[in-house]
Structure 1
């Protein structure tokens, strides 16, 4: 896996931690569950504890019924009917229990699609915190983290991905993202590990 380090200097005072979709939905007894969520949870918790007031958690919410989804999402949810909100317990959409203690001051922002930026509250929270840097953790490397990171790049944010606190249920795709996709943005993206982040970030 490619680790680029902090090539653009120290992490400033306007960095925000975006922890993507660390929910029971992806960790427990659903078709979307993967043990990788539990594997990275301790690293995510360490980063949250470092700056809970600068942490934004996202939650991926599913519609109650297929017909509520837009366009191609209806096809998507016909395939994944088991995770429709009407077919799972409401608390399956909650954050992992180990992360809930950080809220508040951490904030929770709900979204219905891959990129967190499609939820206006996400951009509003970044603006409220005067963010110029986004530090990413969570799942999945190659789906919701990727979609949100690409928009962060387009909007001019310094984009830092914490490699050992990001995971995917598809290991091959996870490795491809870190070795092939993210390095393509080498003038905008930095890839580091948790220890490097915690040493370099003084909120």
Structure 2
């Protein structure tokens, strides 16, 4: 497990926890299931419970039917035909049951691609809260989490990745991304444990 690179700076009331794509289709028995999503879910829940008013969920919404989408996404949904909305249940697209309790007050941003920054109002929602820091959990580390993190970096947000509250289908890719976050992107991205965040982001920061 990568070491913490959390800077000695307070995490205050302008921070927002973005929980990425913790949905039924990634937990249940589907081709996209993440084997250890269930293992990190308690840490995600604990972080959500600590600051429900500073919480935002993203949800990946697949195409309606096989072959839909623009450019390479068309080929993507030909490959993953069973993961289109015509084949999935409503519960598989929803947040996992453990996280639904936080909405509201938590916000939800839906997206049809890996990045939550394109074609959504995410940036406007964060600006409305004067957000200058995001804390990222969820999955997958090397796909939608990566897109979320790099978009935040481009906008100049302090970006903290919670390493024991992330999951991926690939242990190798997960560890490689954490190494990149800690080293290659070290000036922009911090890594921390759930315990680190709970200690540093005190509840009275929102008072």
Does the aligned pair in 2 maintain the 1:142–1:174 contact within 8 Å?
yes
Alignment of 1:50-199 (within 5 A): 50-199=50-199
Does the aligned pair in 1 maintain the 2:27–2:34 contact within 8 Å?
yes
Q: Greater helix percent: which structure?
A: 1
Aligned length: 203
Give the Cα–Cα distance (whole angstroms) in 1 for the partners of residues 8 and 195 of structure 2.
Answer: 17
Q: Deviations over 1:99-138 (max 9, x none)?
A: 0000000011100100111142211221121110010000
Q: Residue 31 of structure 1 corresponds to which residue in structure 2? A: 31
Give the Cα–Cα distance (whole angstroms) in 2 for the partners of residues 8 and 185 of structure 1.
Answer: 17
Q: Assess, with a 3 A threshold, how the Cα gap between structure 1 residues 188 and 8 changes in structure 2: closer, same or farther.
A: farther
Q: CA deviation at 1:182?
A: 4.5
Consecutive unaligned residues of structure 1, counting only runs of 5 or more, are none
Q: CA deviation at 1:8?
A: 4.9
| Pairwise CA RMSD | 1.3
Does the aligned pair in 2 maintain the 1:2–1:183 contact within 8 Å?
no
Does the aligned pair in 2 maintain the 1:60–1:111 contact within 8 Å?
yes
1:18 aligns with 2:18: yes
Report the secondary structure of 1:159's partner residue: strand
Does the aligned pair in 2 maintain the 1:138–1:167 contact within 8 Å?
yes
Give the Cα–Cα distance (whole angstroms) in 2 for the partners of residues 181 and 48 of structure 1.
Answer: 22
Given the two structures, how large is their TM-score scaled by the length of structure 2?
0.94
